[in-house]
Amino acid sequence: MPVRGRGIDLDTMTLASAVASSPVSITATSSATGQTCLTTGAFTVENAGSFLVEVYAPFLTIGTTNLDVELWDSTTFLQSLSGHMAATINRPGATMITKQTLAAGGHTLIVKAFVDGGTGTFGAGAGTTGVAPNAQLLVSPA
């Protein structure tokens, strides 16, 4: 079945987004002090409801033994996106998706990460030949 969209409709497909073109080194060791990897900046939800939040990192690298990636709404923890990742390998092309209920009003969604020790990486690049693509955060109606 074909779907037709008008320009006025298409601009509502993504409510907020963010792009990063360089990796973030992760040295924070707790959820409360996690490093900011991506942030939407402030945006407004007109009608409360469910929203799809998609996070893409071209690669993730753990710290000494662990890496955790989380979603926050400003200073409020929403949920873990990665769980407790523990393995000594890079994780190529990590896509993390969650459905979140957001109330009407102002929001700032933040992707934060922390490690158990050492230095981890939330990957991103410029997307040029031989370089990792951008990391992305998208928020859209579900």
Query: For the segment 60-112, what is each residue's pLDDT rounded down to a tens digit?
Result: 998 888 999 999 999 999 999 988 888 655 567 789 999 999 999 999 999 99
Please give the span between the terminal C-alpha atoms of the chain, in angstroms, as a whole number.
20
Q: Provide CB contacts within 8 A for 102, sequence distance 6+.
A: 45, 48, 49, 51, 73
CATH of domain 17-141: 2.60.120.1340
Cβ pair 31, 109 in contact under 8 A = no
Question: Domain spans of the chain?
Answer: 17-141
- Give the DSSP H or E segment for 9: helix 7-10
Predicted confidence (pLDDT) per residue in 32-54, tens digit? 999 999 999 999 999 999 999 99
CA within 13 Å, CB half, 84: 6
pLDDT at 86: 81
Instruction: Report whether 100 contacts 47 (CB < 8 A).
Output: no
pLDDT band at 142 (very low <50, low <70, confident <90, very high): confident
CA–CA dist 13, 76 (Å, integer): 25
